[in-house]
Chain A
Amino acid sequence: MIDTEQSIIIEAPIEQVWIFAKDINAWAKLMPGFQHCDIADADHSRWTLKIGVGALIRTVKVAVHVGRWAGPEDADFTFALEGDPVQGRGSYRAVALGPAQTRISLAVQVEGTGPMAPMWEAMGRPLLPKFARGFAEQFKGEVEQLGGGATDAPP
């Protein structure tokens, strides 16, 4: 099993960050190599991504299930690659550092199963932290770009 946790401070109120976080489509679009996202229902979606390993790009389909929505602080999810024996879980945690500042922490665990597990995990180990970091930075960028005012938080 490989895991990573990436924290980042976002210059926006926690409620506004949550508006973005609860929109699964918005998350999917931030994934490197995002192609499209099919939303089955509020909790289930299927993401198609192009993932690069060195000079090779592979199209993978990922089934994502959000098991717990506890906004604006928490969400937990699981995922599984279709056709590849790789699955995992993750969490979103947000803490308000001030009225317009939020720290989010994204934790992701990935597990390969079967005889290929050592390969998947060894290949993923150096990539996962970079991947998660890139994602967190994109997340921050998007939320901050949405602007200070756009919040459904109580005035």
Chain B
Amino acid sequence: MDHTVVIPPDAQLAPLLRAYDRAVAAKHRQFFIGLAFMAGAFALACIGAEIDPGLFWEKLGNFTSYFNRLAHLDTGAVVLSDPAEWFWGLRRWTRLLGETLLMAYVGTVTGAVLAFCGCFLCSRNLVSSALLRIVIRRIFEICRTVPDIVFAMIFVAAFGLGALPGVMAIAIHTTGALGKLFSEVVENIDMKPVEGIAASGGSWVSQVRFGAVPQVLSNFASYAVLRFEINVRGAAVLGFVGAGGIGEELIVAIRKFFYSDVSAILVMIVVCVMLIDTLSEKLRHRLLAMDERP
């Protein structure tokens, strides 16, 4: 015998294997039903989205040539050979990028403050009125389901072109997104401190201020910073619909085939977003490690 495991006679082994196969077969069947379903959905979606692999192959050359053109100045030189010419609009683009960051900042702060005010009012453990909770929850839901750029289009019609509609769109979308996250944090707090404050005669506001806020503050700040990061990306494209920031410059450059401008602006956006990502990640780690100091 060169096996350490003794192989039992077939009569004994067969039922065991069969039972195993049956169990596995059930799983496999489920898997294949899922797969078939996916394949069907895939085919349907291909028709829906007018997918044309032939076109893709045919145009794939365009893709490389497009990036090739992005990498060259009008003169035909490679962009890196003449950075001053490539970034000829540096001052203007920096100003627009700064404007974009400010839009994201004002929108995030406004939205975070509104979400902060609303989140305690829609938390089951702090508010007993179901009506109030549901109303606020619905408002948050609508605010976050409608994409910010749709709000921006509507606000451009009302407020005219400029940063104002963009800021408002970001603020509203942020209110909805943060409101949901905030209220989830609030619903998971330890209620003992809140009860302690209530028992010593604190008003509802005091119960929230001293019982709930210290527990949630670092989490809230971390979520708000994350949201700022997302909003910077969002603000960069709000200009597509005339709502301020660097987006307007970018869409004009793309539409008018100013290739080197497109690549220059894209590089600036990417660097800026990456910088903010890194900073915000550091900040969030510090925030979560820190708690409210007296």
A and B assemble together: no
Interface, chain B (partner A; CB < 8 A): none
Chain A residues within 8 Å of B, Cβ to Cβ: none
